[in-house]
Amino acid sequence: MKTKPCSASALSAVVLTLGFTSLAGAATVRVMAPAELAGPLRSLELAYETSHPGRNVDFDLVPARRLEKEASSSNSDLVISRKEEMDFLSREGIVASASVSVFAVDRLALVTVPFKRLTTLQDLTGDGIRHIAIVNPSRGGSGMLAVLALNRAGVWSGVQPRIVHADNATEVLESLTKGAADAALVYVTDTIGHDLRIVGIFERPYSDPIRHCVALSSRTRRIDAARDFQEFLSSDVAQGLLSGMGYRSE
């Protein structure tokens, strides 16, 4: 799997424009990222620090809904966010726009227990579906995308009374396995390792892919170390780990 990192010339222009100071000796890179990526990022952190002796990564994990605000006053070297938030951060000058790259792509999935008769989003309006579990839209991106997908499928008004909210994807999937819900909408990556049936994976027109981006903070003074970790995210090692977690490339 390969991503499309920004070119060296583009990054050089960013450095000159923003007046970054290169501190080659800096060993620790501070990265602001959404808390929902905690699991994958910890695995990437371990792989990076193992393969780069003397280099460390310090993650500042915040709820996705607060990331835009937190990033504006953070002293992080890198920022990780979904593309929609990253576009805003780039327009506001909080991150260097020329440094933005996509390192992982996720998608929305409709899941149920094995042998449950369910084939499409439209089937969620059927008599056999009592409850549909999603992450509370105020707490996680998958919940917001679930509502969007159900609206675009034209079934939201019919299924809204059946929607049950959970605080996170783990609770959503537990509601399925315990019989408290008949179906759920979560990220593809949330389903890895669970004995569940993926009914469908949705992109356009129901839901856009979820693109996770990384970019240099306009405040960083550790550009060499920050670029080193950013480049690692597009390496074969990192992409292999992400693929095993259910992510795909751009």
The tens digit of pLDDT for each residue in 76-104 reads 999 999 999 999 999 999 999 999 999 99
Fold of 8-105+211-244: D-Maltodextrin-Binding Protein; domain 2 (3.40.190)
In CATH, what number does 108-202 get?
3.40.190.10
Q: Strand 78-82 vs strand 210-216: parallel, antiparallel, or unpaired?
A: antiparallel
Q: Strand 163-166 vs strand 132-135: parallel, antiparallel, or unpaired?
A: parallel
Pairwise CA distance, residues 73 & 75, whole Å: 7
Which of 227, 236, 240 lies closest to 100 in space, CA to CA?
Answer: 227
Please tell me the chain's helix, strand, coil percentages from 3-state DSSP, rounded to the nearest 5: 45, 25, 35
- Alpha carbon 106 to chain centroid distance? 7
What was the pLDDT predicted at 162? 97
Q: Per residue of the chain (250 residues), what is the pLDDT tens digit?
A: 444 444 444 444 444 344 433 334 447 999 999 988 999 999 999 999 999 999 999 999 998 878 889 998 889 999 999 999 999 999 999 999 999 999 999 999 999 988 888 999 999 999 889 999 999 988 767 898 999 999 999 999 999 999 999 988 999 999 999 999 999 999 999 999 888 999 999 888 888 889 999 999 999 999 999 999 999 999 999 999 999 999 998 8
Is residue 190 within 8 Å of 169, Cβ to Cβ? yes
| Dihedral sign, Cα of residue 191, residue 197, residue 201, residue 206 | negative
What was the pLDDT predicted at 140? 64
> How many of the other CB atoms lie within 10 Å of CB of 166?
22
First to last CA, the chain: 9
Element (H, E) at 47: helix 38-51
CA dist list (Å): 75 to 34, 79, 230: 16, 10, 17
Q: Where in the chain is the domain with CATH 3.40.190.10?
A: 8-105+211-244, 108-202
What was the pLDDT predicted at 43? 96
**Which residues fall within 8 angstroms of residue 171, CB to CB, at 6 or more apart?**
none
Q: What is the residue type of 145?
A: L
Element (H, E) at 159: helix 156-159
CA atoms within 13 A on the CB side of 178: 8
Pairwise CA distance, residues 189 & 210, whole Å: 11
Q: What is the residue type of 110?
A: L
Return the bridge partners of 59, or none. 31
Q: What is the residue type of 104?
A: A
Q: What is the residue type of 50?
A: T
